[in-house]
Amino acid sequence: GQQLNQSPQSMFIQEGEDVSMNCTSSSIFNTWLWYKQDPGEGPVLLIALYKAGELTSNGRLTAQFGITRKDSFLNISASIPSDVGIYFCAGYNFNKFYFGSGTKLNVKP
Amino acid sequence: SQTIHQWPATLVQPVGSPLSLECTVEGTSNPNLYWYRQAAGRGLQLLFYSVGIGQISSEVPQNLSASRPQDRQFILSSKKLLLSDSGFYLCAWRDRRYPSENIQYFGAGTRLSVL
């Protein structure tokens, strides 16, 4: 299957710091997605990317679709306590979505 | 607007009992539908997906089955639950319509504990 390598697995940061996480794949994807999941809830879509090289922002979040179509990154600027959660990347091809293993973000007030 | 409903939110079942989890989508037609399982602190494992009524693709051989009796209804079932079936089950749908095609939306999930 198509594997996504997401890093880092976890992060402990101070409130106000910037955060960066990324996903890489051996396969090309048509769409890259980034989700956030809070404990006991379903993942919520943060950003969707459709074109190679595309850079998209959603408030303090910025994500990019890699030029090779095999990678993507997510940046969070000026982190706040409510950013705590697990962030997942996902790639889409041919009716199926492939997920990274997640980045668990902890923010110290 | 589109919404996805998944129930129940939590379920405790004895080993060997049957299972039926239901998921329905509102506000769209002919969506792709998906069932995932998530172990604690882990990523999402795709179990089944469907591109239309009666069309089911199985990704992982296991003790579970899925059915799609109506366009916007997706059911996950088991005849006899195993301890290893415990987990967090998520239903999701894919929007095929431009400009939101290739986006997947998730339900709130069902926490299943098999004892």
Average pLDDT over residues B3-24: 96
Asked if B102 lies within 8 A of A42 by C-beta distance, the reply is: no
Task: Provide the shortest C-alpha distance from residue B4 to chain A (in Å).
Answer: 11
CB A34 within 8 A of CB A46: yes
Under the banding of pLDDT at 50, 70 and 90, the label for residue A2 is low
Asked if A97 lies within 8 A of B41 by C-beta distance, the reply is: no
pLDDT of residue B100: 77
The answer to which of A14-18, A82-86, A91-95, B90-94 has the lowest mean pLDDT is A91-95
Q: How far is CA A24 from the centre of its chain?
A: 11
Asked if A101 lies within 8 A of B42 by C-beta distance, the reply is: yes
Task: Return the structure tokens found at B7.
Answer: 């129930």
Closest CA to B93 of B46, B44, B25, B27: B25
Tell me how far apart the alpha carbons of residues B58 and B104 are, in angstroms, rounded to a whole number.
Answer: 18
Give the number of residues written for chain A. 109
Under the banding of pLDDT at 50, 70 and 90, the label for residue B89 is very high
pLDDT at B114 over 80: yes
Under the banding of pLDDT at 50, 70 and 90, the label for residue B29 is confident
pLDDT of residue A91: 95
- DSSP, collapsed to helix, strand or coil, labels residue A81 as helix
Region at A46 (left for phi over 0; alpha for psi -120 to 50; beta for the rest): alpha
Find tokens 């396969």 and name the residue: A27
Tell me how far apart the alpha carbons of residues A27 and B41 are, in angstroms, rounded to a whole number.
Answer: 25
Q: Which residues of B touch A41 (CB under 8 A)?
A: 108-109
Minimum Cα–Cα distance from A104: chain B residue:
B41
Substitution target in A34, A94, A99 with the highest count of B β-carbons within 10 Å is A99
Q: Which residues of A touch B112 (CB under 8 A)?
A: none
DSSP secondary structure string, A27-54? S--SEEEEEEE-TTS--EEEEEE-STT-
Under the banding of pLDDT at 50, 70 and 90, the label for residue B41 is confident
pLDDT at B61 over 80: no
Asked if B43 lies within 8 A of A102 by C-beta distance, the reply is: yes
Identify the contact set of chain A against chain B, taking CB-CB distances under 8 A: 30-31, 33, 35, 40-45, 48, 50, 88, 90, 92, 95-97, 99-102, 104
Average pLDDT over residues A100-105: 95
Tell me how far apart the alpha carbons of residues A67 and A54 are, in angstroms, rounded to a whole number.
Answer: 8
Average pLDDT over residues B100-107: 90
Task: Provide the shortest C-alpha distance from residue B87 to chain A (in Å).
Answer: 11
Asked if B32 lies within 8 A of A31 by C-beta distance, the reply is: no
Average per-residue pLDDT for chain B: 92
Asked if A88 lies within 8 A of B43 by C-beta distance, the reply is: yes
pLDDT at A1 over 60: no
CB B92 within 8 A of CB B33: yes
pLDDT in tens, A35-89: 999 999 999 999 999 999 999 999 999 999 999 999 999 999 999 999 999 999 9
Average pLDDT over residues B26-52: 91
